[in-house]
Every structure is written in C-alpha cells, then in structure tokens.
Amino acid sequence: MTELLKQNITSHVSLSEDETEIFCNLFQQNLIKKKNFLLKEGEVCKFEGFVTKGLFKVFHLDQNGVEQILYFAAENWWITDIDSFTNEIPSQLFIEAIEDSEILLISKKDKEFAYENLPKIEKLFRVMTQKTHAALQRRMVDNLSKTADQRYVDFIEKYPQLYQRLTNLQIAAYLGISHEFLSRIRKKIISKK
C-alpha cells in the first residue's frame, strides 16, 4: 500500500530511502467499507489520509439535510478536514467511503514528529497545501462565474475516470445543483451532439 504513497511523495520532494521509510512507517493502514464513515460531523479529525484504493466523498449537510460535496478523493489523493485537524475542533464535515477503500492515515502527533525530524516533509505539505489552495480558489471562481452547464462539462473533462465512478446525485451535490437540473443539463448536451 505504501508504494503509491512513495510515488506521491517523490512527485513533490526528494527524500532519501531512509527518510521515505521513516515517513511511510508513521502511517496506519485502514480498510473502510462502502458507505462507512472515516469522519462524522461533530468528531475531531485526528488524521490526514492518503487514499491507496477506492473513493471517498467529503461533504457537509445543510440545514435541510441536503448533501453539499466539497470534494472527492480517489487513489493517490490526500483527504482530511483541515480545519478540525489543525485546530482540534469538532468537524463540520463527513468523510464517507463511496467504494470499498484502503487508506493510509497519519496522526497529528506523527505528522509533527515528521516535521521535526524530516525537514523535507514540511516542504512536502507546504507544496501540497499550495496546490490545494489553488484548486479551491479555481473552484470558487468557477462557481461564481460559470454556468452549471459549464461546470458540469469542466468536471467531466477534468475528472473523466472519477466521473465514471460517481452517481448523478453525487455529481449534482458537488456542482451545487439539484439532480433534476443535472438531468436537464445532460439532456441538453446529448441533444447538441
């Protein structure tokens, strides 16, 4: 399971074999069955996770109980509730497995150990944080400036493999539109072909 993690690390920073082994040994392997939760609203998030197999959704329930999906995490993606993890406060989010999944989890204590003993790990997480912030900023701009039709097409083009693994309800919750509205968008796109 750690091979994918090692590849991910190498794509961001250069570590020696010893540093890589020390860092990877800080992670705990977890198997999460489909529809089971890694985190529920109200719990304090005590991990950052790296997905080695499967698919998760990170979401919030609005006041009417409607799912609002912030993001999905498939193989080779990192996942956490950064606010809860960093500030040790109750989460406002749920993290649920969409498929049977395997994930490597690192605790805050072990991450701090890595920062103190493996200086390049701080660079690794800084680079990943910058990429995450850029992606979130693009998503916010797209949500404010693009139509739902454009956002749907962009999603399919950007995540073709992910698109195949999701239901229309999940995609609609990610795009912030109703399932019915997504069906109309899909019909419109199909009729243009």
Q: Please tell me the predicted confidence (pLDDT) of residue 186.
A: 87
Hey, how many other C-beta atoms are within 10 angstroms of the C-beta on 18?
9
Radius of gyration of the chain (CA): 18
> If pLDDT is split at 50, 70 and 90, which confidence band does 188 have?
confident
Q: Kindly give the residue spans of alpha helices, DSSP state H, lying in the chain.
A: 2-10, 17-24, 82-87, 108-117, 119-145, 148-158, 160-165, 168-175, 179-192
- 67 CB-near residues (< 8 Å, 6+ apart): 59, 60, 61, 173
pLDDT digits 0-9 by tens, 94-118: 999 999 999 999 999 999 999 999 9
| DSSP-based three-state secondary structure for 18 | helix
Q: Kindly give the residue spans of alpha helices, DSSP state H, lying in 53-118.
A: 82-87, 108-117
Predicted TM-score (pTM) of this structure: 0.92
